[in-house]
Structure 1
Amino acid sequence: MQSQHAITRFSFPQLLKMFFYPTVVISLFGCGENQPQANIDTSAYVHTVASEPLQLQHSYRVMRKFSGRVTSKQSASLSFEVSGRIAAIFVDEGESVTKGQILARLDTELLTIEQQQLQAQVLQLKAEEELVDANLTRSDALIENGYASQQTVDELTAQKKVLRANQQQLQANLAAKKYQINHATIFAPFAGTINKRLINLGEVINPQIAAFELQQHSNFELKVGVPQHLIAKIKQQQAFNLEVNQQTITVTSLAVNSALNERSRTVQLRFPLPDGLKAYNNQLAFFSFEQRYQQGGFWIPLTALTDGIRGTWNVYTLAPESNDTYKLLSHSVEIIHSEQNRAFIRGDLAQDQLLLSAGMQRLVPGQLVKTNL
């Protein structure tokens, strides 16, 4: 029989909880009592902002850029003047040609045969006319001797006139055949480049079908459409700035069309480009025109603008306070003109007044700030 006062047995984990954990906790509390407290600065932080003084302008300039096309003054669509089968093609697209160079030729064999037939008919009529002349000579002699009547002479004279009329008609037909043979060949009317070849060897072609598109090497011009109300101011300029191939070119000559474009409602300007300029037909180019407006205001960066109420725009200015700090004040402004990274505004602002130029999203009116100036 076991004793009523039996000794209670504890496992090792239970003993660890009873003696080790309380010792560690007491040690931690003892170590923390002598640690110094951190000094926390509870004063308000003042932002340093980017600012710049406002500069009053009595006018502003707007650089307007109008796009246009570079075109060649000489550009032609070439075709045959007669119908026929294409016998030879001497050039292809992209090739340079000189003035008078042969580009293509038609088969003229049938035209040559018809020309020879007409020449034979002319010879026949001349022979008949010679016979009529001989008969007239004999008839005149017979009339003198009383062996022929005047009617015979009149008939021979009329026959001679008919033969001469037929000869004239044949000569005209011969001239037409000669013209067709001579114009069965296309010659280059000026030196240039073949932009398009629209025919193939062996095709039967008529004069309504274009064969080549030829463009002159030089003599380029820029055609630009501008609003009608700017024409008078543009004409007052002595020089004009053009941009071709990302290269600025200054020219002094200008031609203005007298008609208004029905679609764009603009007036076309034509600027001759310098000789030797590397350009392509229908290439995009630009004409820059600087226009001045008499309007007071300030140029500010776009980063200085923030949305206001009811669709307005606001800017912040810096009003001096104590200890080199400034107070932000909000001003409602009107945007007169804007460009890529700046805007021309007007509002209740003054010369040399400090403007908050960036960081609007982190600040509010009435906040104290420091300036970087």
Structure 2
Amino acid sequence: MNIHYPVCTWFRLVFISISSLVILSQPSYADSLPVQTIRLKPEPFYIELSRTGRIDYRYITNLSFKTNGFVDQLFADAGQRVYLDDSIATMELTDLKAGQDTALARYNKTQQDLGRAKKLYRDKTVSKDFLEQAEIEAVQAQSDLEKVEYDINKAQITVPFDSIVVERLVQPGEQVSAGSPVFSVASIKESNLVVRLNLTQQEIDKIERLMKVSITLANQHQISGRIITIGAVADAETGLYEVEIAPELHGNQAFPGQWVKVTIGISRSQQVYQIPMLALAGIVNGNANFVVHDQGKYSIQAFPILHMDQQFIYVPAEGSRIKVVTRGWDRLVNQLSQ
């Protein structure tokens, strides 16, 4: 059975393994083996981060009614394709119709009252204040009627663009308030698809927006993509940062929920030594210690860690070639420490 660990857990396992190399005693036959070294030359810093990502919608839009009421009918469900101007939900109109009748009756009365007030004002039997009050009430009644008619016309939800229903959030008969989400939908355009993956703090420090990446789809087809967002805050549980990548699909089949492989090539002009992990003599205060052979002498040297993976540790190159001990460094460390 294959066990897949989260990235943060993997790093803990690496450091535990490293500590074991330093702390555990070597088998007795190792004492008789000759010291082995490897000669390394400076080379440009280049690594590849390979992570598993997931295709997802970049933008999801919540659709809602523009007035309070009870849900009457729903015409769509999760996973269904819907299209521009489709009606996918209606609201029960009984209360709204009753409100419309009341508003219409009040509107008609205020129009009659306004007409009578104008006649009385012309006959100089009422003051101008009386006429103005009648005008105000007529305007208010007209506004109330228009609002109710607007609510009736908007007592349905129509689709703003060709999309797919991501989630249905209510049931028929439920009371909802204006603006309360009823459906979540996502555009079906390829430009609305992204690849999401999680990286550590050390890894996001090495990437930047618009950096080009390689994506291997589920059908093993490889496409390109670019990093478009880098999370500013780590997830509270995992300590990882979410990264969004825009894939260049061009008709290649990709669906939300699919897992893909993302390879990010990172290069710098900085010269580094790529030292095998088995040469690591310890990590002290964030620096990697190695036993170095120079001019017939052995010494312990500490290097800042730029990057480390399962095979190598990348450290700044501080000169030309160096010779690092890969076997027998434990005996040498003991001797150099005495």
Q: Quote how far apart the aligned CAs of 1:260 are.
A: 3.0
Which residue does 2:86 correspond to in 1? 101
CA spacing shift, 1:73–1:190, aligned 2, 3 Å? farther
Aligned residue for 1:215?
186
- CA separation of 1:306/1:274 partners in 2, compared to 1, >3 Å: closer, same or farther? closer
CA distance in 1 between partners of 2:308 and 2:95 (Å): 72
Q: Does 2:116 match 1:131?
A: yes
Q: What is aligned with 1:174? A: 145
CA change 1:99–1:164 in 2 (3 A) is same
Q: Structure 1 226/66 Cα, relative in aligned 2: closer, same or farther at 3 Å?
A: farther
| Alignment partner of 2:60 out of 65, 71, 75 | 75
Alpha-carbon shift at residue 159 of structure 1 (Å): 2.6
Select which of 47, 53, 67 maps to 1:62.
47
- d(CA) in 2 for partners of 1:73, 1:296: 38
Deviations 1:178-230 (A, max 9, x none): 22112211111222111211222222222364311112212223456674896
Distance in 2 of aligned mates of 1:177 and 1:207:
14
Is contact 2:63-2:184 (8 Å) kept?
yes
User: 2:48 corresponds to which letter in structure 1?
Assistant: M
Q: Paired residue for 2:245? A: 271
| Residues 68 and 284, structure 1, Cα contact 8 Å, conserved in 2 | yes
Structure 1 residues 285 and 70: CA distance shift in structure 2, 3 A = farther
Q: Could you tell me how far apart the structure 1 residues matched to 2:40 and 2:206 are?
A: 29
Which of 244, 252, 256 is equivalent to 1:280? Answer: 256
Give the secondary-structure state (helix, strand or coil) at the position aligned to 2:178. Answer: coil
The aligned runs of 1:1-373 (5 Å cut-off) are: 56-59=40-43, 61-65=46-50, 70-137=55-122, 139=123, 153=124, 155=126, 157-207=128-178, 209-218=180-189, 219-223=192-196, 227=201, 234=208, 240-243=212-215, 245-246=217-218, 247-251=221-225, 254-255=227-228, 260-261=232-233, 270-275=244-249, 276=251, 277-280=253-256, 286=262, 288-292=264-268
TM (normalized to structure 1)?
0.55
Cα contact 1:241–1:288 (8 A) shared by 2: yes
1:156 deviates by 5.0
Q: Percent identity?
A: 16
SS in 2 for 1:260: coil
After TM superposition, give the deviation of residue 242 of structure 1 in Å.
3.4
TM-score (norm 2): 0.60
Q: How many residues align?
A: 273
Q: Distance in 1 between matches of 2:211 and 2:263?
A: 11
C-alpha distance in 1, partners of 2:265/2:140?
Answer: 64
Partner SS state of residue 91, structure 1? coil
List gaps (5 residues or longer) in structure 2: 1-36, 283-287, 292-299, 329-338
Distance 2:128 2:274 in 1: 102
Q: Secondary structure at the match of 1:85?
A: strand
Assess, with a 3 A threshold, how the Cα gap between structure 1 residues 225 and 299 changes in structure 2: closer, same or farther.
closer
CA separation of 1:225/1:343 partners in 2, compared to 1, >3 Å: closer, same or farther? Answer: closer
**For residues 257 and 151 of structure 2, what CA distance do their matches in structure 1 show?**
33
Q: Secondary structure at the match of 1:211?
A: strand
Shift of the alpha carbon at 1:291?
3.2
One-letter code aligned to 1:171: Q
Distance 1:312 1:127 in 2: 95
Contact 1:66–1:287 under 8 Å retained in 2:
yes
Change (3 A) 1:134 1:84: same
SS of the aligned residue for 1:155 comes to coil
Deviation at 1:129, TM superposition (A): 2.6
Residues in 1 aligned to 2:270 and 2:203: alpha-carbon distance in whole angstroms: 17
Structure 2 distance, partners of 1:343, 1:162, is 85
Aligned counterparts of 1:135 and 1:241: Cα–Cα separation in 2? 81
C-alpha change, 1:170 and 1:287, in structure 2 (3 Å) is farther
Contact 1:222 1:285 in 2 (8 A): no
String of CA shifts for 1:80-123, please: whole Å, max 9, x gaps. 22222221111111100012211110111221222122222222
Cα distance in 2 for residues equivalent to 1:284 and 1:111: 50
Contact 2:64/2:182 (8 A) holds in 1: yes
Q: CA RMSD in A?
A: 5.0
